[in-house]
Structure 1
Amino acid sequence: MSHRILVTGATGHIGRELVRRLQQQRADCAVLVSPSGRTVPGVLGVEADFADPASLARAFKGFDTLFLLLPLVPEKLALARNAVNAARAAGVRHIVRSSAAGADAGSPVAIARLQGQIDELVQTSGLGWTLLRPSFFMQNWVNYHGEQLKAGAWHAPTGNGAIGVIDVRDIADSAAAVLADPAAHAGRSYTLTGAEALSNAQQLAAISEAAGRRIDYVDVPESAAEAAMLGMGMPAPVIEWFMSLHHVVKQGWAAGLSDDVQALTGHAPRRFLDFVAENAGAFR
């Protein structure tokens, strides 16, 4: 039986690592690219736009498994509905979705509710499905917070809440394991975390040690964080989602740990101290 895989979000943090692993496994895979987006060297690119259902149905045709990773944009739920409907119309057999820890369509937490609503679209699609629900990414420190770290402090309204931070490479390893045999993981949801829960202050202490200079965590009022995002021109729904993420951390709800990375990949999750040591140059 054929097993062709189409990867969406292939140029993002998870997608890049996942495509590398699929290439190493010599999997029959291609990547979805937007009309104005980047291609991935050495991998077939199939063009489509999440906002154009007809283009998605054409792009998904001939693929058995869809790795679904959606951008964090105000219309995310609508784009998810387009993708799921197109997958069903195109004859896709299985969707492996990159969701988020704590996803719950009935949650009062905005980001958890959004992720849960999308998960429900996948679960009720009539297709085979697997949900991967990762926690916060270690790589966010490198990819998003570099300027603040270089300035000597990182500001967020997260209090002392701990987080089961995970290395993106462990998410990719887990996704690759599921994509190797989707049927074996049908109807399963996996929560992907690291092996330890660390507060932002603890993470920054480790980063400070690696950088050889002090970098402080500054716990700011929620109103200040919201005002800063407004000043950056973020859309209101995205601000609400980020503020709800901060709330989750502050309440201690992101501290849970799971053994699912070990179960899926056969190896323990990468340690935060090792991640920091590898990326020390980015923090100096």
Structure 2
Amino acid sequence: MTSHTPARAAGQSQAPGPGVLAVTGSTGGLGSRVAARLADAGRPQRLVVRTADRAPRLPGATVVEAEYGDADAARAALSGVDTLFMVSAAEEADRVTKHLTFIDAAITAGVKHLVYTSFVGAAPDSTFTLARHHYATEQHVHASGISHTILRDNLYLDFLPNLAVDGVIRGPAGEGRLAGVARDDVADVAVAVLGEPGRHAGETYDLTGPFAITLEEAAATMTAVFNRAVRYEPETVEQAYASRAGYGAPAWQVDGWVSTYTAIARGDLAEVSDCVERIAGHPPIDFAEVLRRRDPAAEV
């Protein structure tokens, strides 16, 4: 399944056009790409950030401060906004509460259309435990009645190199595959949706790369592109928990780390969709191209 149209809540209205745009997450990997593309297209936008000094300086962009968990600041920051691009919050124990606070503030402020970045397979019992946060957020969005579009991203291909510690990716992923997606492709889809929110109202899009790869294949690709050895070393679930016990992270975070791999092993991230090409208008890029863009000097 590449897209899903949920039942629209009573009273949910179509957004006729983008109007005033607001973008969150512009200091991060995805939001910065979306904001830069909007600026390059000459579209005015409001950047909602926690710290104004960290916001990118872009033509046509104004900067306002607000945190997801601060309802008053969020309402003030979003006053007059028609379409909001909401990057999901950093992984925290109270992530869902912050999401819901911000969404409710957006509705109170008069936001007409919400574009939210979720995760593929978001469900109350997702193998990847942190995807359950996205499910709770999605359910709140559906119930609220606000016009919305959900972008369910697969694991970011840009993130895969971070899994390699001293040249080794260790985890209980077995021979499972993931159809990871590039942040560049997610940003292109987001900009397309933000340009015509009414056309995408009520839609949920699964965003993936062009094909699914194993972590062993990912390691081989990194070896070729970066010209340095990277390998995948499978772990059992028990070994994965034991190897991460020394980081001092809370249990929910360790569960998230380990279940990233077990979700791959179960095949939860393997399905490939055509949504990037249909919405952004170009095929998604593969892992090797992501790595080349990350390190332009690298040669396969």
Partner of 1:191: helix, strand, or coil?
Answer: strand
2:44 match: 28
Aligned partners of 1:275, 1:22: CA distance in 2, in Å? 21
Structure 1: which 4+ aligned runs deviate by more than 6 Å?
281-284
Change (3 A) 1:224 1:168: same
Equivalent residue number for residue 107 of structure 2: 88
Calculate the TM-score normalised by the size of structure 2: 0.87
Whether the 8 Å CA contact 1:9–1:71 is kept in 2: the answer is no
Q: Find out whether 1:204 has 2:219 as its counterpart.
A: yes
Gap change, CA 1:36 and 1:223, over 3 Å in 2? farther
Q: For residue 106 of structure 1, report the CA deviation from its aligned partner.
A: 5.4
Query: 2:242 aligned with 1:224, yes or no?
Result: no
Q: Following TM superposition, by how much is the alpha carbon of 1:229 offset from its aligned partner in structure 2, in angstroms?
A: 3.6
* Residue identity opposite 1:232 in structure 2: Y
Seen in structure 2, the aligned counterparts of structure 1 residues 5 and 233 have a Cα distance that, compared at 3 Å, is farther
State the partner residue of 1:249: 264
Aligned to 1:128: 147
Taking the aligned partners of 1:105 and 1:21, their CA distance within structure 2 comes to: 34
Gaps spanning 5+ residues in structure 2: where?
1-16
Q: CA deviation at 1:281?
A: 6.9
Q: Which residue of 2 aligns with 1:99?
A: 118
Q: 1:235 to 1:249 in 2, by over 3 A?
A: same
Match of 1:213 in 2: 228
Cα distance between partner residues in 2 of 1:281 and 1:264: 27
Alignment of 1:177-196 (within 5 A): 177-196=192-211
Structure 1 residues 154 and 25, CA gap change in structure 2 (3 angstroms): same
CA displacement at 1:230 relative to structure 2: 3.7
Q: What is the match of residue 159 of structure 1? A: 174
For 1:175 and 1:76, how far apart are their aligned partners in 2? 22
Residue identity (%): 28
Residues 125 and 220 (structure 1), Cα distance of their counterparts in 2 relative to 1, 3 Å cut = same
Question: Does structure 1 residue 14 correspond to structure 2 residue 30?
Answer: yes
Number of aligned positions between the proteins? 280
Alignment partner, residue 86 of structure 2:
68
Change in Cα spacing, 1:117 to 1:191, as seen in structure 2 (3 Å) is same
User: Judging changes above 3 Å, is the alpha-carbon distance between structure 1 residues 181 and 75 closer, same or farther for their aligned structure 2 residues?
Assistant: same
Q: Does 1:50 align with 2:73?
A: no
Deviation at 1:92, TM superposition (A): 0.5
Distance 1:91 1:232 in 2: 43
Give distance in 2, aligned partners of 1:82 and 1:102: 23
Deviation at 1:107, TM superposition (A): 4.3
* 1:107-160 CA-partner distances (Å, limit 9, x unpaired): 465233221111111111121000000101111134x346x1xx2312122111
One-letter code of the match for 2:114?
I
Q: Say what the alpha-carbon RMSD is for the aligned residues.
A: 2.1
Q: Is the 8 A contact 2:52 2:64 kept in 1?
A: no
1:168 to 173, 183, 189: 183
Of 248-257 and 224-233, more deviation after overlay is shown by 224-233
Three-state SS of the structure 2 residue aligned to 1:57 is helix
Change (3 A) 1:2 1:65: closer
Instruction: Decide which moves more: 35-44 or 70-79.
Output: 35-44
Q: SS in structure 1 opposite 2:204?
A: strand
Higher deviation after alignment, 209-218 or 78-87 = 209-218
Which has the higher mean CA deviation after the structures are superposed, 210-219 or 154-163?
210-219
Q: Deviations over 1:143-187 (max 9, x none)?
A: x346x1xx2312122111100011110000000000001111000
Q: Which amino acid aligns with 1:5?
A: L
Aligned-residue offset at 1:103: 1.0
Alignment TM-score, normalising by the size of structure 1: 0.91
Q: Residue 139 of structure 1: SS of its match in structure 2?
A: helix
Instruction: Tell me which of 108, 112, 115 is aligned to 2:131.
Output: 112
Cα distance, 1:27 vs structure 2: 1.6
Q: State the AA in 2 paired with 1:38.
A: R
